[in-house]
Amino acid sequence: MTDNTDMTQLDIRRKRLVYRANYRGFKEADMILGGFAKAHIDALSDAELTMFEDLLGAKDHDIYAWVNGTLPVPANYDTPLFARICAFDPKVV
């Protein structure tokens, strides 16, 4: 039987990111970011985890506007990871 002491730092980081992505306070952002995190967090590289973590520091309404194209994506967030988030369909999860 495995307990929480056997979790690696990477596992803990991933769990924290999933939690942060799911409980943003803006339902649309929760669905997009949380759904993406639940579906893909285990496959993200360390660099992608850092990019995702940075993105979670942005304001929800800005992220939503970038995803739906009503505001241009700032260069520091305009990454292949963000393109994958934009292409993610939360209804599929």
CATH code of the region 10-87: 1.10.150.250
pLDDT at 46 over 50: yes
**Domain ranges in the chain?**
10-87
Output the pTM of the full model.
Answer: 0.86
Q: What angle do CA 68, 47, 62 make, to 5 degrees?
A: 25
- Binning pLDDT at 50, 70 and 90, where does residue 4 land? low
State the alpha helices, DSSP H only, in 1-93. Answer: 9-22, 27-29, 35-40, 46-55, 60-68, 80-87
Report the pLDDT value the prediction gives residue 3, as an integer from 0 to 100.
54
